Amino acid sequence: MQQESINKAKQLVSDLKIIYTDVDGTMVGPGGSIFRAADGSLTMEAANIIVKAITSGIDIVPVSGRNQDQLRENVRVLGLQNFIAELGAEIIYNQGERIIHTAEEIETHGKTVYETIKDRSITQKLLQHFSGRLEYHTPWSDERRFHSHLFRGFVSVNEVNSFLAANGSSDLKLVDNGRIGRRGDMPLEEVHAYHLLPKSVSKAKAVQRDQIERNIKIEQTIAIGDSWADLPLAEEVGAFFLVANGVKEDPTLADGIKAYDNAFVTENEKTLGWSEAVSLFLE
């Protein structure tokens, strides 16, 4: 980043306590590894930064579309404690000792939100209407998810959300969680991960709730991400960093980030971009 941006970011954050971070395409590189740079080469940079942050008393909180089981294993291996799963639907403390569910407007009648959405048959309608452009993101789309359905493909989010509203599911939304490598059987120019979940759920709202629960000030936090699902985090933290691959893979993010005075784009991609952002506050 340019020195001017670095200086501004540092001015926005004081006494850093929490790093909210996306996982895939941000904190980890190819194959979901913290030891891989964007080009696939081996690097210890992110691992070293994690150790420095923990040693400095900074809480690294993964905020991901991954489900609770997946993230619990991730944070356990990395020596972390707290995380936010399913795009903000669950806030988990101490690797599962306490859980806050943020989806409030869906009547589940004793079932999970995942099961409630499935019972509506809206997922079948979506797959039929957008056939060839949308499919379940197997094998990660199974019922170990409690609050959201996970798809892959390439669709207009606005078009899908209009379809949901027209088919009795205006309380749901589809969220684009960024470009992915696994293509499935669809002959598409690019493939993204999408989450179908309650309209009230978001990463930003979960981060806001976490700060209230722990009495943390905005200026004591930063966030790092790579997609449109991450960008609203800028409203809830002192400084937000978009890793360079986010803009590279989705050029529309370059315009989206202009709406936030506290948002910056790293020079490096994925793990090295993540390390670049965090290292600004560990000097």
- The verdict on 190 and 53 lying in the same domain is no
What pLDDT shows up at residue 205? 95
- The verdict on 22 and 153 lying in the same domain is no
Residue 267 pLDDT > 80? yes
- The verdict on 22 and 94 lying in the same domain is yes
Of 143, 165, 198, which residue sits at a domain end? 198
Q: Write the CB contacts of 148 (distance below 8 Å, at least 6 apart in sequence).
A: 65, 86, 87, 89, 113, 114, 195, 196, 197, 201
Of 137, 165, 198, which residue sits at a domain end? 198
Residue 107 belongs to some domain of the structure: no
Query: Which residues form the domain of 159?
Result: 113-198
What pLDDT shows up at residue 111? 87
Q: Provide the CATH number for the domain around residue 33.
A: 3.40.50.1000
What pLDDT shows up at residue 187? 85
**Count of the separate structural domains present in the chain:** 2
- The verdict on 86 and 213 lying in the same domain is yes
Q: How confident is the model at residue 85 (pLDDT cuts 50, 70, 90)?
A: very high
**In the 8-state DSSP scheme, what is residue 181?**
S
Residue 93 belongs to some domain of the structure: yes
Mind listing the pLDDT tens digit for each residue in 176-199? 988 887 777 788 888 999 999 999
Mind listing the pLDDT tens digit for each residue in 198-211? 999 999 999 999 99
- The verdict on 120 and 246 lying in the same domain is no
Query: Are the C-beta atoms of 231 and 253 separated by less than 8 Å?
Result: yes
